[in-house]
């Protein structure tokens, strides 16, 4: 495995205990971090909102047993408080949260001087100043371990991918914060597993330090993002081919 790049993988969302553990077990030897959303900031209130805090003890158990850090999305200060209670110290800020300075400020203050790692996804719209603003809020609150995640930007145009690819903006972030690792999330950028292999192949390797993949033990039945989640076999194929 090419250890130059970090590998983060896991389901879009926790759906039940068996799905979580089965997915994790299929990835366990191949990943640096395990991702699993438990609070999903869905566009529609009718969509699956995530399993919620009842999944926290499972993630805590996985971390402890397998010594692999688990990462979840946080959208409020109370999410942070609950995560810390269950020893989850790696948290990401979703694209729909990065756009909101009130939210990013509130979350940044809730981790002030805590030993946490924060990953900041690009804002859903291509206003790079919002991405920069979020990075600065966390860094001003004393967060030392920050990564950014590039997952593409919303477009009104009829484009090939779910989100618009803007490596030019990633380049600006890389120039401005050369010390902050950038993770590429081809799952959310493409919105479709058919494109993921090509996106990995054509990645700007010079700009990124790792990848985040959505992987589900049974993507067809997934309650969210079912078109873009890889099966464990598809994931392992990519890992063997490229890393």
94 counts as binding ligand PEP under rule CB under 6 A: yes
- Contacts with Mn ion by CB under 5 A: the residue count is 2
d(CA 183, CA 150): 6
What residues numbered 29-68 form the site for Mn ion, per CB under 5 A?
A: none
What residues numbered 6-65 form the site for ligand PEP, per CB under 6 A?
A: 12, 37
Contact 131, 123 (CB under 8 A): yes
Nearer to Mn ion, 174 or 228 (CB): 228
Applying CB under 6 A, the span of 78-86, 91-99, 132-140, 167-175 interacting with ligand PEP comes to 91-99
185 counts as binding Mn ion under rule CB under 5 A: no
107: number of Cβ within 10 Å: 24
151 counts as binding ligand PEP under rule CB under 6 A: yes
| Residue closest to Mn ion (Cβ) | 12
189 counts as binding Mn ion under rule CB under 5 A: no
Quick note: the x/- pattern for ligand PEP over 177-196, rule CB under 6 A, is -----------x--------
Applying CB under 5 A, the span of 60-68, 171-179, 193-201, 218-226 interacting with Mn ion comes to 218-226
Compute the 3-state secondary structure of the chain and give helix, strand, coil in percent, each to the nearest 5: 40, 15, 40
Q: Is 178 left (phi over 0), alpha (psi -120 to 50) or beta?
A: alpha
Residue of 7, 9, 12, 120 that binds Mn ion (CB under 5 A): 12
Following DSSP, what letter does each residue of 133-194 receive, concatenated?
Answer: HHHHHHHHTT--EEEEEE--B--SS--SSSSB--HHHHHHHHHHTTTS-EEE-HHHHHSSGG
Residue of 15, 73, 185, 225 that binds Mn ion (CB under 5 A): 225
What is the CA angle 10-238-187, rounded to 5? 50
Nearest to 191 by CA among 209, 222, 164, 211: 164
- The minimum distance between CB 116 and ligand PEP, in angstroms, equals 18
By a kind-dependent CB cut-off of 5 to 8 A, residue 42 interacts, out of Mn ion, ligand PEP, none, with none
CA distances from 50 to 23, 31, 106, 180, 230 (A): 16, 23, 22, 29, 19
Nearer to ligand PEP, 79 or 121 (CB): 121
Give residues in contact with ligand PEP (CB under 6 A). Answer: 12, 37, 94-96, 121, 151, 188
């Amino acid at each position: 495995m090419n250890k130059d790049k970090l590998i983060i993988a896991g389901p879009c969302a926790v759906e039940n205990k068996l799905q979580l553990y089965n997915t994790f077990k299929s990835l366990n030897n191949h990943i640096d971090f395990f991702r699993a959303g438990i609070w999903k900031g869905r566009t529609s209130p009718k969509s699956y909102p995530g399993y919620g805090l009842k999944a926290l003890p499972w993630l805590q158990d996985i971390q402890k047993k397998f010594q692999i850090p688990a990462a979840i999305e946080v959208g409020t200060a109370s999410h942070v408080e609950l995560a810390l209670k269950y020893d989850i110290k790696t948290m990401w800020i979703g694209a729909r949260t990065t756009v909101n300075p009130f939210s990013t400020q509130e979350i940044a203050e809730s981790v002030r001087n805590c030993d946490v790692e924060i990953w900041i996804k690009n804002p859903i719209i291509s206003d790079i100043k919002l991405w920069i603003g979020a990075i600065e809020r966390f860094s001003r609150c004393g967060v030392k371990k920050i990564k950014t995640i590039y997952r593409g930007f919303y477009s009104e145009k009829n484009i090939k991918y779910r989100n618009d690819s803007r490596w030019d903006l990633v380049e600006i972030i890389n120039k401005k914060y050369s010390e902050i690792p950038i993770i590429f999330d081809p799952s959310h950028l493409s919105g479709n597993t058919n494109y993921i292999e090509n996106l990995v192949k054509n990645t700007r390797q010079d700009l990124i330090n790792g990848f985040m993949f959505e992987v589900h033990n049974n993507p067809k039945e997934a309650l969210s993002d079912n078109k873009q989640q890889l099966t464990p076999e598809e994931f392992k194929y990519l890992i063997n081919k490229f890393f």
